[in-house]
Structure 1
Amino acid sequence: MLLNPAAEVVPLPPVEIGLTLDQLEATALASNPSICRAYNLVAAARGNWVQVGLKPNPSVGYEGQQLGSGGLAEQHGVFFGQEIPTGGKLRLNRAVAQGEILVAQQQLAAQRQRVLTDVRSSYYRVLVAQRQVGLAEELIEVADEGSRAVEALFKASEVGRVDVLQSQLESEQAQILRQDARNAYEAAWRELAAVVGVPDLPVQTLLGDPAAPSHELQFEATLSRLLATSPELSGAVADLQRARRAVERARVEPIPNVTVQGLVNWIDNGIGGKPDGGVAISVPLPLFDRNQGAIMRAEREAAAASYAVTQTELDLRSRLAPVYEAYANARNQTERYRKTILPAAEESLELTRKMYGIGETNYIGLLTAQRTFTQTNVNYLDAILRLRQAEVAMEGLLLSGSLGSNGESSSATASPASRGATAPQLRGPGR
């Protein structure tokens, strides 16, 4: 009797090989140079915070007087000096610098979101391009099947040479469609590799379903989330706070700093060579320059920063409107294609094939059904991509264009959905 009988072997599910969206995002966050650039700008702002709060260095030097008196009244000494900032200038310097750090941090957050948005957008472009290649292969099979049917009927003298030529043309168009799909896939992959920050990323399968159902987004909820979490708006608020602190700093600038000097003469021949010393305290008199221009400038910049907050909020509302419109249209289209149009196009093609086989319709009818089936599937993939890109744009807080010249391209025209981006174009045969 076996005390430890062998356990029943349970087959493991097949493991899919390919890249996931999470893997691509992690790689991009580590490799995209725009994030490294923004991170270093934050570090630079922190360095500035350290510098502007440092006290002035003291001064030291030698002082000699009455040097031409033949030793009768010569004085030799060492002096020390220190400027003492007043009015809380150093504290306010750091308050302004802290505001600059907050602005830089929001710019870093915005840049990080731009990278994620670009990766997700390119990811769906590649996924849809993968589907397009598969669709093109299916369309070749459809065209070849039609060609075989026509050849059989031609040999039976039931159709003319024109039908044979038309079927051959359809097969050639399907071949062109497949090559276009492959080219579109390669272009989408190159774009993805650049955004991820690995230009030589080898071509491989991406895991995911671009047509997977998603939760419906509502405009008001999306707008509320955008206004609450947008780093653009947070950055504008941080810049307003910085500008207000700059006003405070400008207003204390006229308060004179105190300069204290001390002198020690180790030899004063005027008093028999004995040591003596002296003290001097000085302050500038703000009679003419009371920092009037700088105060005015700081106040106007603070007012401008306040308007910038309102402008940014309105800009976000304006940019969201066309993106949500594109989303709503694409969502409606994908649902109709999936539930009604695609099944109808497939059934129409099957029925037309049967009717053509028994002579109840001519080749023009079959050709029309094939082209309708082709274009319907092409349009469906196009709608899927527009839906995903609109979702990505809204979930990405309307931030995109991470590899722009300054890394801050984020207008509605920069987002894939709002600029009317569509799937890499696959045109049905004969269109």
Structure 2
Amino acid sequence: MAHSIKGWIGVGLACVCLGCAAEQPYLSPASLHSDISIQNGLPKSASPTEAVKEKLDEGSVELASHSQWDPEAFDSGLTNPDANNEEESHLELANAEIPSEQLENPAGLKVRSGYASLDDLLAVAFANNPSIKALAATTQKAAGYRTQVGLYANPLLGYQGQQLADQGTDQHIAFIEQEIVTGGKLRLNRVVLNEALRAQLQELEAQKLRVATDIKIAFYDCLRLQEQIVAIDGFSGLLQQGVQAAEERRKAGEGTQIDVLQTRVQRQQLELDRRQGMATLEARLKEISSLCGSPSLILEGVVGELPVQPQSLDWRSLEEELVTSSPEYAAAQARIRQATASLRRQRVQPIPNLAVQLGAGVDNGTDSGMLNLQVGAPIPVFNRNQGNIAAANAEYCRAIEDARRIDNAIRARLAVASGEYARAAEAVNMYSGELLPAAQQTLDMAETAYKGGEQDFIQLLVTRRTYFDTRLAAIASRAELAMAQSRVDGYLLSGALNSVIDGSGDDSLRGLTLGQQ
């Protein structure tokens, strides 16, 4: 029997020396980078609210007071994360590498002669905006940490020799040691990081809405500038006719050189307005390229239309819908669940893990085999994890108040947006229904009266300028209406290039689990 045990000891030592453990796969930086790509935006058939609901089917969390939290009642929500791989399926959507040739002109982008539609620009942004890519990376981090914190401790395989200097009485033992984790700590670790992953997925959705909102606002501002430049060109042609008419009246002795010069000055003022508009438009187009994450994308203009009539919105019901389905608020809810799970996890930390060691060997002094079993556990006398429990409880309270803050912030932003929309809607209705027709009729009558010598030239100049300003203001009101609608559609979120929120966590819970001293 002694020879048999010696043989097993030799095999065990050979395994330790040669490294029997399978080599772990190495993830190169390139492979990690290729795993981070972005979904190409929200489905055209789905609203942002529906797209967020498709992402997560987790029920909403009621904002209870601090004293209402019941750890036992929450146990029913601590399901095994292995039974719900929803986040894994969503992360698979971000696993397709974007070819380098598509970075500046991704599939689906149809820019002809330097002009792009809103859908084209959003496709570029969702594929290239660095903040979206950064948040997609944080979801990968959170998924990795979620896996890591649930891993069991590696077993320890070793050899022990005793009385080696005393030939004939030496003892040789091969042993294996394993730490047995108790209290469901590893499962609770995964629950905590699972909610961190859910929060990051919601932050990713929120960032996509921020990018879309900023691009839409810049897009509609470009449409405004383009329409105003077209209006300037048209009115400039009308003033050129006015210059010719003034020249004819001067030659006929019915007008003066002052009339001609004043008309030319007014036309030059229009040319200045046009040049300033072109400069602003060029800057706005460059801004759109940067918001899309492709600053080398050259745009000459955008293709689209400004709204003609405002929509009728029920702001009361819209307010509740925005709060309950906002990804920003959903991320706050996930952080409440994460804080609750963390508190539950810290409360089971004092439950001692078991250190089990099994050894087998031979005693040459008696020429007999040896079999040892050792079991130990730390006694929570001084460290009962009381500090971490208090901190986790405070974090739970902070998460609740933060969710309340976000709720109030959404409602406050909606109040401002509703006022902007209402003002723009009133302006659009007034300009299209009364002001523009009246200004056009007044200008036509003034031009006819001046040609017939029935009106003073100064009054004609005032009438022309009034018509021109009214026309530009009408275009601006339509753009403001479109921008206000874009803010509401984007859940009142903005900041396409702001630094991202990285709440992916870390693997410290695993170290806490396996180190109870």
What band does the TM-score fall into relative to the shorter chain?
0.7 to 0.9
1:22 aligns with 2:87: no
| Within-5 A mapping of 1:69-80 | 70-80=166-176
How far off its partner does 1:212 sit?
A: 3.2
Name which of 41, 57, 61 aligns with 2:138.
Answer: 41
1:217 aligns with 2:320: no
Q: 2: CA distance between counterparts of 1:123 and 1:320?
A: 21
**Partner of 1:54 in structure 2?**
151
1:375 aligns with 2:469: yes
Q: Which amino acid aligns with 1:37?
A: A
Contact 1:136 1:181 in 2 (8 A): no
1:265 aligns with 2:350: no
Q: Which amino acid aligns with 1:394?
A: V
1:384 aligns with 2:478: yes
How far off its partner does 1:273 sit?
A: 3.9
1:398 aligns with 2:492: yes
Q: 1: CA distance between counterparts of 2:441 and 2:501?
A: 49
1:255 aligns with 2:347: no
Structure 1 window deviating more from structure 2 (348-357 vs 197-206): it is: 197-206
Q: 2: CA distance between counterparts of 1:130 and 1:172?
A: 19
- Cα–Cα, structure 1 residues 297 and 407, in superposed 2: closer, same or farther, change >3 Å? closer
**Partner of 2:295 in structure 1?**
199
Q: Which amino acid aligns with 1:378?
A: L
Q: Which amino acid aligns with 1:344?
A: A
**Partner of 1:355 in structure 2?**
449
How far off its partner does 1:274 sit?
A: 3.0
1:91 aligns with 2:187: yes
What TM-score comes out, normalization by structure 1 length? 0.86
Q: 2: CA distance between counterparts of 1:295 and 1:273?
A: 54
How far off its partner does 1:48 sit?
A: 0.9
How far off its partner does 1:41 sit?
A: 1.1
Q: 2: CA distance between counterparts of 1:179 and 1:165?
A: 21
How far off its partner does 1:137 sit?
A: 0.5
Q: 2: CA distance between counterparts of 1:161 and 1:326?
A: 46
**Partner of 1:118 in structure 2?**
214
SS at match of 2:161: strand
Q: 1: CA distance between counterparts of 2:307 and 2:255?
A: 41
Q: 2: CA distance between counterparts of 1:98 and 1:398?
A: 27
**Partner of 1:67 in structure 2?**
164
How far off its partner does 1:196 sit?
A: 2.5
Structure 1 window deviating more from structure 2 (397-406 vs 159-168): it is: 159-168
Q: Which amino acid aligns with 1:55?
A: Y
Q: Which amino acid aligns with 1:382?
A: A
The count of aligned residue pairs is: 390
How far off its partner does 1:32 sit?
A: 1.9
Q: 2: CA distance between counterparts of 1:64 and 1:280?
A: 17
Contact 2:310 2:425 in 1 (8 A): no
1:311 aligns with 2:405: yes
How far off its partner does 1:384 sit?
A: 1.4
How far off its partner does 1:72 sit?
A: 4.4
Contact 2:285 2:300 in 1 (8 A): no
Name which of 284, 295, 319 aligns with 2:378.
Answer: 284
Deviations 1:280-301 (A, max 9, x none): 1110010000000000000111
Name which of 188, 193, 203 aligns with 1:107.
Answer: 203
Gaps of 5+ in 2: 1-111, 503-517
Name which of 418, 422, 426 aligns with 1:328.
Answer: 422
Q: 2: CA distance between counterparts of 1:304 and 1:228?
A: 20
Deviations 1:334-392 (A, max 9, x none): 11001110111111111111121122222210110111011111211221111111100
Q: 2: CA distance between counterparts of 1:111 and 1:374?
A: 40
How far off its partner does 1:150 sit?
A: 1.5
Deviations 1:95-143 (A, max 9, x none): 1011111101110110111122122222212211211220121121122
Gaps of 5+ in 1: 1-15, 409-431
How far off its partner does 1:398 sit?
A: 0.5
Q: Which amino acid aligns with 2:152?
A: K
How far off its partner does 1:160 sit?
A: 2.5
**Partner of 1:341 in structure 2?**
435
SS at match of 1:206: strand
Contact 2:181 2:353 in 1 (8 A): yes
Contact 2:131 2:207 in 1 (8 A): yes
Structure 1 window deviating more from structure 2 (112-121 vs 233-242): it is: 112-121
SS at match of 1:356: helix
Deviations 1:184-211 (A, max 9, x none): 2212211222222332333255332103
Q: 1: CA distance between counterparts of 2:265 and 2:310?
A: 40
Structure 1 window deviating more from structure 2 (292-301 vs 194-203): it is: 194-203
Structure 1 window deviating more from structure 2 (142-151 vs 281-290): it is: 142-151
Name which of 123, 141, 153 aligns with 2:237.
Answer: 141
What TM-score comes out, normalization by structure 2 length? 0.72
Q: 1: CA distance between counterparts of 2:374 and 2:441?
A: 101
**Partner of 1:239 in structure 2?**
335
SS at match of 2:410: helix
Structure 1 window deviating more from structure 2 (217-226 vs 246-255): it is: 217-226
**Partner of 1:425 in structure 2?**
none
Q: 2: CA distance between counterparts of 1:192 and 1:209?
A: 17
Q: Percent identity at matched positions?
A: 34
SS at match of 1:213: coil
**Partner of 2:47 in structure 1?**
none
Q: 2: CA distance between counterparts of 1:116 and 1:342?
A: 32
How far off its partner does 1:407 sit?
A: 7.1
SS at match of 2:116: coil
